[in-house]
């Protein structure tokens, strides 16, 4: 993937099985968000191809892939419930994006179980600005799940949350991942979060450097580690993925 001829990602080749939870770490600016945008079809790879279930990705974002950003994933002028029915409103009425009367009532009824699942049933008529950060991110996740995507893309979704709230969000996300059997790609700056949640860790970094031309090369995947449940607290693996020298070889 290049922007204006400058490579951002190069020689990226991987095969991800359905139901994986891939966590992605790497230095700032190395192309992690770009990678997610490629998976969403918000960007098109300059070379190479990306297949989903053996078929090239559609050229535009489609409901089979949902995304949540660190902030601003939801519409501030719509209530919690309105944010959640929006996708159905646009599907039913592409021009106005609104449902009225019994159709709207039905759409609001349909989202009730989801509202309950994410603990926002008491906040259905509040606007995002009236919610805490954690509640806003729960809404953002629910909005991304409304069309039951096969693939969920998360770009530092918990980066702005307090540690206590973050732990609750981890639990919610893990449960939803299992219940809905999605494949997840999650960018995070927190290596412990990456090990706690993921089944596979992808580390992005530059391996080729030209001191005369810092922009000459892009980043690639330098570590691709399966994470087993008993690795989650493994300090050596954490050190390895953070770019530090581990005490023992942790090549799996
Ligand atoms: N639309 C664009 N046009 C030109 N360059 C871009 C564009 N989007 C991203 N870039 C460049 O691509 C590089 C990778 O950006 P990206 O946001 O993917 O990195 P990142 O690893 O997600 O960074 P961070 O961890 O800081 O969020 C950066 O140098 C950025 O300036």
Cα 32 to ligand 1 centroid, rounded to whole Å: 8
C-alpha distances in Å from residue 55, one per residue of 39, 91, 132, 148, 179: 13, 24, 40, 19, 25
C-beta of 29 in contact with ligand 1 (< 6 A): yes
All domains in the chain, ordered by first residue: 2-75+132-241 (3.40.50.300), 78-126 (no CATH)
Instruction: Determine if ligand 1 sits within 6 Å of the CB of residue 8.
Output: yes
Q: Which of 3, 26, 218 to mutate to test the pocket of ligand 1 (most atoms within 8 A of CB)?
A: 3
Virtual torsion, Cα 173, 19, 36, 244, nearest 10 deg: 80
**CA 189 to CA 191: how far, in whole Å?**
6
How many angstroms separate the alpha carbon of residue 252 from the centre of ligand 1?
A: 30
What pLDDT sits at residue 212?
A: 80
Burial of 109 (0-12, 13-18, 19+ CB in 10 A): exposed
As a whole number of angstroms, the distance between CA 223 and CA 246 comes to 14
Whether the CB-CB separation of 201 and 239 falls below 8 Å is answered with no
170-211 pLDDT tens trace: 999 999 999 999 999 999 999 999 999 999 999 999 988 778
Taking the C-alpha atoms of residue 177 and residue 225, their distance in angstroms, rounded to an integer, is 20
Residue ID of nearest Cα to ligand 1 atom 18: 31
Query: Is the pLDDT at 248 greater than 50, yes or no?
Result: no
The pLDDT, as a whole number, for residue 250 is 42
**How confident is the model over 59-116, as pLDDT tens digits?**
999 989 999 998 878 999 999 999 999 877 777 666 766 777 777 788 788 889 899 9
Does the pLDDT at position 240 exceed 50?
yes
**Mean of pLDDT values over 14-37:** 95
Instruction: Find the radius of gyration of the CA atoms of the chain.
Output: 20
Region 157-168: mean pLDDT is 89
d(CA 86, CA 97): 7
User: Across the strands, what pairs with 55?
Assistant: 52
Find the helix or strand (DSSP H, E) in which 202 lies.
strand 200-205
Instruction: Report pTM.
Output: 0.88
- Centre of ligand 1 from the C-alpha of residue 29, in Å: 5
Separation of 28 CA from ligand 1 center, angstroms? 8
pLDDT of residue 252: 39
Q: Express as a percent the part of the chain with pLDDT over 90.
A: 62
Cβ–ligand 1 distance for 3 under 6 Å, the answer yes
């Amino acid at each position: 993937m290049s922007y204006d001829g400058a490579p951002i990602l190069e020689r990226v080749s991987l095969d991800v099985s359905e139901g994986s939870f891939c966590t992605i770490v790497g230095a700032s600016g190395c192309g992690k968000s770009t990678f997610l945008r490629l998976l969403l079809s918000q960007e098109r790879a300059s070379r190479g191809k990306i297949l989903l279930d053996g078929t090239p990705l559609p050229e535009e974002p489609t409901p089979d892939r949902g995304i949540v950003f660190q902030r601003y994933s939801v519409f501030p002028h719509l209530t919690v419930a309105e944010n959640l029915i929006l996708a159905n409103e646009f599907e039913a009425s592409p021009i106005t994006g609104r449902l009225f009367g019994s159709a709207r009532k039905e759409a609001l009824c349909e989202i009730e179980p989801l509202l309950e699942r994410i603990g926002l049933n008491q906040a259905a008529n509040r606007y995002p600005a009236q919610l805490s950060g954690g509640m806003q991110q729960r809404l953002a996740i629910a909005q991304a799940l409304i069309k039951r995507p096969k693939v969920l893309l998360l770009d530092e979704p918990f980066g702005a949350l307090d540690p206590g709230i973050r732990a609750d969000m981890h639990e919610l996300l893990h449960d939803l991942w299992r219940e809905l059997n999605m494949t997840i790609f999650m960018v995070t700056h927190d290596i412990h979060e990456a090990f706690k949640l993921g089944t596979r860790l992808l580390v992005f970094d530059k391996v080729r450097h030209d001191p005369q031309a810092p922009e000459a090369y892009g980043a690639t995947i330098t570590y691709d580690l399966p994470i087993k449940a008993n690795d989650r607290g493994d300090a050596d693996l954490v050190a390895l993925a953070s770019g530090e020298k581990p005490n023992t070889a942790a090549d799996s």
